[in-house]
Amino acid sequence: MMGVNFLADLTIKGKAGLLLILAILISLPFWSSSYIISVATITLYLAILGQSWNLMLGFAGLLSLGHALFVGISAYLAAYVFSVLGLPPVISVFPAVLLAILMGMLIGYLGFRFSIGGVYFALLTIAFAELVRISVDHMGFIGGTEGLFLPVSEGDRKGVDLINLRGHPFMFYYLAMVLAFLTLAGCRTLLKSKLGYYWQAIRDDQDAAQALGINVFRYKMYAVIYSSGIAGVAGVFYAFYQNSLFPESVFGIERSIEVTLGPIVGGVGSLFGPVLGAFILTPLGEGLTELIDFLKNSGIIDPKLKLNGLKLLIWGLVVSLIVLFKPRGIWPWLSDKLGFCRTEGD
């Protein structure tokens, strides 16, 4: 049902394009390298997170700069109960997502109850993410700064165990693909529902929205709940894909910012923008790392040259160019050019 709906606003060309992309994605493991699969998995993972972040800012006008928090606490919870109790992620995903949602609700409650809007709300999300990062640093039972490691045995990377999320990298790749598609379809359904209309109304003009009978507090809370919930699901995936969690690399502000870049490049507020953004930025960053390594190995540039920040520099440049020349992102412009989406009409 969701899938059928999903196709409704694509033109014939758009459907063909979607089929082609799906065909490439599904067949990727059969003709590419394991390295490309790992890049593609991270890309899909970031597409899910971009979608989650876009739901808050693009749909409801709520700027979160602490999305790593929702991912992180969910990842930590699922990883902890797996390593201590052996509880499989298929079960722990529920409390993990619930924890992410509760965290979202707490931030949302404080922000919306006391009318902390715009950039101040973003500061609140950063504050909570940092608070949790520093707290986890000092929590010995989940590893503190030493990190939390999931038990991995030799045979784990061979099979397919979806209950325990242990298996071949291809399993993670396909799982990420399914999750990314479900997130996209789910967000589309939400956007076309009463919730989506209300979120956009609140985003565009809160006073007018309230005058039309919208309980602004409640609908903003729904946005945070859905967004943090999706991030929570992604967090469980991340924990079992990475097998190691460190406070800095999970909750750090870089992680939260990374989440925002895909949607900004692809198009905030659009459905496919976050996906497109992830598919532009992640391969770009990885390709650049590869290129530098290649240049160093072949002696074209001095191997001792430190170019650690170059990836971030290039990303910054890309984002600046997008903001300057395509402030609504690439997707709205691209889909117009390609004629992939039906224009609004019954």
- The footprint of another protein (CB under 8 A) covers 192-194, 197-198, 200-201, 203-205, 207-216, 269, 343-346
Helix (H, G, I), strand (E, B) or coil at 168: coil
Query: What kind and span of H or E run contains 149?
Result: strand 148-149
Nearer to another protein, 247 or 263 (CB): 263
Our CB check for another protein shows the closer of 59 and 76 to be 59
Q: Which is nearer to another protein, 182 or 216 (CB)?
A: 216
**Least distance in angstroms from the C-beta of 105 to another protein:** 20
Closest CA to 104 of 79, 129, 84, 83: 129
Minimum distance of another protein from residue 334's CB (angstroms): 18
Residue labelled with tokens 């409801």: 60
* C-beta closer to another protein: residue 5 or 135: 5
Distance CA 188, CA 197 (A): 12
DSSP class per residue in 262-326: HHHHH-TT-SSHHHHHHHHHHHHHHHHHHHHHHHHHTTSS-TT---TTHHHHHHHHHHHHHHHH-
CB nearer to another protein: pick between 198 and 340:
198
| Rounded CA separation 147/81 (Å) | 15
User: Is residue 245 classed as helix, strand or coil in its secondary structure?
Assistant: strand
Pairwise CA distance, residues 47 & 233, whole Å: 13
107 Cβ partners below 8 Å, 6+ apart? Answer: 66, 124, 125, 128, 224
Nearer to another protein, 208 or 305 (CB): 208
Q: 242 CB contacts (<8 Å, ≥6 apart)?
A: none
